[in-house]
A and B are shown apart, each in its own frame.
Chain A
Amino acid sequence: MVVGSKIDTEGSLLGNMIMLMLEENDIPTVNKIQLGPTNIVRNAIKTGQIDIYPEYTGNGAFFFDNFKKGVFKDFQKGYETVKSLDYKENKIVWLTPADANNTWAIATRKELAEKHSLKTLEDFAGYVNNGGYVKLACSEEFATRQDALPAFMEAYGFKLKDKNLLILSGGNTAQTEKAAAQKTSGVNFAMAYGTDGALAALNLVVLEDTKNVQPVYAPAPIIREEILNRYPEIEKILKPVFESLNLEKLQKMNSKIAIGGIPAEVVAENYLKSNGFID
């Protein structure tokens, strides 16, 4: 069974957890973790090149369009919507999610936030509209996806032009956060994930999304129906693991990987062992 994941730190962590759990239960796996950005991985599962990978409920807003507006802002409703849509259209089954919201955010250096009194994205909008200097490091995905930066811009009423953006390939927020922390190439704002471990260590703060623009991004394993039928026990195997995860735990583990440099496999294995999921 081919296990994939997106290229970012948390993707690698969850992907490894999935793989270790499957192996523990004698299901043979092929490792295609950290395959690429969302669209590559999504394409891979649709064409059957990978069988399972961790995806986020909020991305349903991106993959599909026939849903009720705003439904993804709710954890449960969003999950159920994306589950039924993906099954209907692609015969992909969404398994039990984790109750953690790994949403997109914009972060900046603590001192800059204090200097300009930036606490929320509303403050940020004001800063931008008053001509404040902005160089935001982010991925292509973040800059162009309708439910990402464009959604922020629309909801809070600010506009960022090309010159305000530094687009990095790949979606790893370690790069963007590091750039903002070190002021590389004039970057002073960074794309971040809610569960990022590096934020505290780098002295970055997240600007609050007071208007709840972002949907809920809860991670869940998604699997091709064909494979699930072959190994129906997978649902039961992965459920307790994902149910045990929350924001803090994910942040801690992400931090170990990004800051400590401990490989994702090791962190995943340690978590599963210490929680008795594997021996």
Chain B
Amino acid sequence: MIKFENVSKAYDESKVVKNLSFNINKGEFCVLIGPSGCGKSTTLKMINRLVEPTEGTITIEGKNVRDFKPEILRRRIGYVIQNIGLFPHLSVKENISVVPKLLKWDKNRIDERVSELMQLMGMQESLFLNKHPSELSGGQAQRIGVARALAADPDIVLMDEPFGALDPITKSGLQNEILRLQRKVQKTVVFVTHDIDEAVKLADRIAVMNEGRLVAYDRPESILNNKENEFIKKFVGFDRALKKLTRMYVEDFIKPYQSVKISDSSEFVKRKLESEIFVWVLDDNGNLKGWLNNDDSTDFAEHIESLIVKNIEIFQVSPDCSLKDALSVMMSENVVTLPVVDNGRLIGEIRLSDIVGNEKNS
């Protein structure tokens, strides 16, 4: 959809982008990554003509971007920047409405769209619409920034290190939001970052740049597996194996489990534990309540409920949890198996051997 053909950009004598050629497909989440000064931001800005290339052409769906007036082009492309740039003198609602107003949408359509977007971003309309940017936290502000970029429902969204100024918790939350959004709306996104973890987490394809050149443009797994290119290897880092785990999810590695119910008799439980090291304990609705160990000290004369280990929350993971996070839980709690819980119901197990073992096969 977005095609770069032999694009270069030079400032005075030095070329910051050298002969770039690649194609971003429709609906694809493309991440531009590289060290400082590699030309990734410049490349992004050439798409909406904030920067004009000195050589080469950029086309969107076959049409040369130079055929459009810059302002007209930009109104059809969403743009999010690191420091957000919300207009301080406008309310949240007015901020979001900027591009629709430029496109002369009627009032009702704009109001509807604003509601839609606030819902999409998970922010309560009545609470936020009349606030001014100075009253928002960093995370809230960037959410509004994204909403603003999506307001006119553009097909393309450009994001230039949008989460770079946020704290890790907010950043992670927003990254998850973006993933969730992308699953829903399937825009063509071009995202610039210098954080390889972020790139691996979000991208469909990663474009690695160095000194103005495109070094590689491939799926994250391939980039992570690349053992030939020294630059990529060093850029990705030693922990590329762990990074791969962020792209794999628990739900794909669930194994069956053994369980008993609280209502079961002590006899039944005792017999079960003769063949298992431990069992999960569920209630009659299948909700996970705890686990029970095969331990000589267990006195089965007592009621089951008083025997089970109940602090189950620290171990449980959801199906959409990444393998990296699952591994992290295992390491911090010193266990090799975790329960996979969906809405309180136990649906399976995940084991360390599945994570480590599987790594070789992907």
A and B touch in the complex (CB under 8 A): no
Residues of A within 8 A of B (CB): none
Residues of B within 8 A of A (CB): none
